[in-house]
Amino acid sequence: MTRPKIQIDDEVREMTEEEYQWLLDTGWTEEGSDETPTVD
């Protein structure tokens, strides 16, 4: 599976597995909704 890209200053690259896990831990989803989300 291709992981999302990140930008670190001027560098753009695919994120590492560790970076991807951090992103998933924040609750990130590939597709969003139009609802105002809440943080629990």
- Residues of this chain that interact with other proteins (CB under 8 A) are 4-10, 12, 15, 22-23, 25-40
CA 40 and chain centroid, separation: 18
What minimum distance in Å lies between the beta carbon of 7 and other proteins?
Answer: 4
Distance in Å, CB of 26 to other proteins, minimum? 5
For residue 39, give the 3-state DSSP assignment. coil
Q: Which is nearer to other proteins, 17 or 40 (CB)?
A: 40
Print burial letters for 21-37: b (CB count within 10 Å at least 16), e (below 16): eeeeeeeeeeeeeeeee
Name the minimum Å distance from CB 30 to other proteins. 7
